[in-house]
Amino acid sequence: MAGTDSDSNKLREDMVYPLPQPPAEPVRIGGEIVRDCEKKEKCGIFGVAGPADAVERCYYGLYALQHRGQESAGIATTDGQTINSHTGLGLVADVFNRNVLRDMTGGAAIGHVRYSTAGSNRKCNAQPILEEYIDGQVAVAHNGNLINAARLRAEYQKFGHIFHSTSDTEIVIHMLAKPTHQDKSDPLVHVLRHLQGAFSFLFLFKDRIEACRDPWGFRPLVIGKTRDGFYCVASETCALASIQAAFVREVEPGEIVTISLDGTSLSSRFFTDKRELPAHCAFEHVYFASPSSTIFNDTVMMVRQRLGRQLAMENPAAADIVIPIPDSGRSAALGYSRQSGIPFEEGIVPNRYVGRSFIQPSQQMRDLAVQMKLIVIPEVIRGKRVVVVEDSIVRGTTTRGKMLALRRAGAREIHMRVSCPPIRHPCFFGIDFPTPTELIAHGRSVDDIRDFIEVDSLAYLSLEGMLACLSLPTDHYCTACWSGRYPIPVDESVSKFGFERHQMKMFE
């Protein structure tokens, strides 16, 4: 066991530790091997109709959802006749400045922040996607992942359809434009019935917003109402709060909610007659959602504190302090501290001015940016037996680096506690978990992982314990990344970059 011998506080830099094996055929983008070493955010969507400052409110809504995606941002807006959009790579504040916002006018707007779960980080993949077809213009923003997009795309390409992006979202517009679909009484309903996977969509037509959620409810999508009486829709309730809107309700699984151009009325219809058993993503509570949000009937911060309490009951440790891995581990660490009686300390602080590592020009600089994001406070750690609470471990290489930093700071013992079960299976529903061979828990024991990340002890929350911390029935959650039980049959050969291998030169 790492750190139990007499030299436990010495660095073991002379040792060679095998890394988890990469895929047999590494994916290359622009000649560079893609290295997604840790969990990544998905996407966030926001829409509002009615107010004169709809674009500005959409901007603030996206700003509140920035934690869900940092690769690109975009807003599309309509004045009732024409839809215009602006998208770009980077953070919301980088993509939009005062001049851009001033030039975007309209009474309804939808926006998107993106982390790529299908298709790489390129300008062509930024959303909302805006296209024109026989029925006019449409813009679409998507949170989730379509598991049958590759098959649908191949079918449309056989008939001469030309795709402008490598995102799974674009297929939806091609389907809307298909003449036989346009002949249906409700083309959008007909199209959505053909989709499989996780999707929360916002469609902006010239005269309305359509908010749609898949029949399983994988991703959260909520409706709000502003203080001046206009309806809005968002991935999380924290975005509603950013414009002082009150929570109205969730968009139901399988539902399409229409918001009128003036923002004062809602109408609803369902695109499926069959009500599927819900498959809400439990990892939203573990990591992705803002602690201030309420999703799936639970406040995220309270769930995370319960996870920490349950973790302490299942996996106690003899220690002097409890510290979180910022930021998503903080609430769970607080729960662990309160349950165990071990004092809570902030032993690691985030450096919020480093910038996003994904925009660094070289792999070496990206690795350095990751190291600089979290800074250990030696005075808190030195000589202490430390319980470190982390929300999850995906590939393990970044976690190992954090534990090495704690050793350098003088930690006497390190006891890692993880507030969810081991992630052993890839996600196909909107979380960028890599292939099984890149998941450190796939085919490895907890002891193997403990030795790799070099801690004195390692323990995970049980699946049963995690589900007990959530308020809905246990069979209402998707637990595929932990249990391997997928709510929908999936093709495990699906790749995030599957659309790019034949189109690499086009988009470089």
Q: Is residue 4 part of a domain?
A: no
Q: pLDDT grade, residue 103 (50/70/90)?
A: very high
Question: Catalytic annotation on 43?
Answer: yes
User: Hey, what amino acid is at 442?
Assistant: H
pLDDT in tens, 370-399: 567 788 999 999 999 999 999 999 888 888
Residue 240 and residue 336 in one domain: no
What percentage of the chain has pLDDT greater than the value 90? 71
The DSSP 8-state label assigned to residue 410 in this structure reads T
**N residues, the chain:** 508
Residue 273 and residue 382 in one domain: no
Judged against a pLDDT cut of 60, whether residue 36 lies above it is answered with no
3-state secondary structure of 170: helix
**Cα diameter, the chain:** 77
- Identify the pLDDT of residue 364: 58
Last residue of a domain, one of 231, 251, 279: 279
Q: Is residue 487 part of a domain?
A: no
Residue 48 and residue 194 in one domain: yes
The answer for residues whose C-beta is within 8 angstroms of residue 427's C-beta and 6 or more apart is 283, 433, 480, 481
Q: pLDDT grade, residue 54 (50/70/90)?
A: very high
Residue 304 and residue 438 in one domain: yes
Last residue of a domain, one of 279, 308, 333: 279
Residue 339 and residue 412 in one domain: yes
Residue 299: CB atoms within 10 Å: 17
Distance CA 396, CA 436 (A): 13
Q: Is residue 251 part of a domain?
A: yes
Contact 410, 451 (CB under 8 A): no
Between 37-51, 80-94, 146-160, the lowest mean confidence (pLDDT) is in 37-51
pLDDT in tens, 463-496: 999 999 999 999 999 999 999 999 998 865 555 4
Q: pLDDT grade, residue 28 (50/70/90)?
A: very low
- Identify the pLDDT of residue 497: 43
Distance CA 264, CA 115 (A): 32
Q: State the total domains in the chain.
A: 2
Q: Is residue 291 part of a domain?
A: no
What percentage of the chain has pLDDT greater than the value 70? 83
Residue 457 and residue 316 in one domain: yes
Q: What is the mean pLDDT of residues 156-176?
A: 87
Q: pLDDT grade, residue 257 (50/70/90)?
A: very high
Judged against a pLDDT cut of 50, whether residue 413 lies above it is answered with yes
Q: What is the CATH number of the domain that holds 74?
A: 3.60.20.10
pLDDT in tens, 179-213: 999 999 999 999 999 999 999 999 999 999 999 99
Q: pLDDT grade, residue 503 (50/70/90)?
A: very low
Locate 505 and state its tokens: 């030169």
Q: Is residue 417 part of a domain?
A: yes
Residue 386 and residue 461 in one domain: yes
- Identify the pLDDT of residue 294: 97
pLDDT in tens, 179-188: 999 999 999 9
Residue whose structure tokens are 């300390």: 345
Q: pLDDT grade, residue 296 (50/70/90)?
A: very high
Distance CA 206, CA 427 (A): 35
Mean confidence (pLDDT) of the chain: 86
Judged against a pLDDT cut of 80, whether residue 358 lies above it is answered with no
Last residue of a domain, one of 213, 244, 279: 279
Residue 229 and residue 356 in one domain: no
Q: What is the CATH number of the domain that holds 432?
A: 3.40.50.2020
Residue 351 and residue 260 in one domain: no
Judged against a pLDDT cut of 70, whether residue 16 lies above it is answered with no
Contact 46, 110 (CB under 8 A): yes
Radius of gyration from C-alpha coordinates of the chain: 23
- Identify the pLDDT of residue 304: 98
Q: Which of 427, 424, 462 is nearest to 444 (CA)?
A: 424
Residue 129 and residue 53 in one domain: yes
The whole domain housing 128 covers 43-279
Q: Is residue 418 part of a domain?
A: yes
- Identify the pLDDT of residue 157: 87
Q: What is the mean pLDDT of residues 4-27?
A: 35
Judged against a pLDDT cut of 90, whether residue 365 lies above it is answered with no
Q: What is the mean pLDDT of residues 332-356?
A: 88
The residue annotated as part of the active site, out of 37, 43, 212, 478, is: 43
Q: Is residue 21 part of a domain?
A: no
Residue 165 and residue 136 in one domain: yes
- Identify the pLDDT of residue 353: 65
Judged against a pLDDT cut of 50, whether residue 20 lies above it is answered with no
Residue 226 and residue 255 in one domain: yes
Locate 326 and state its tokens: 């910022």
Q: Indicate the helix (H) or strand (E) that contains 331.
A: helix 330-340
- Alpha helices, H only, 91-130: 92-95, 98-103
CA distances for 338 relative to 81, 127, 282, 299, 332, angstroms: 57, 42, 23, 19, 10
- Identify the pLDDT of residue 7: 37
Q: Is residue 488 part of a domain?
A: no
Q: Which residues of 484-493 are buried (b: 16+ CB within 10 A; e: fewer)?
A: eebbbebeee
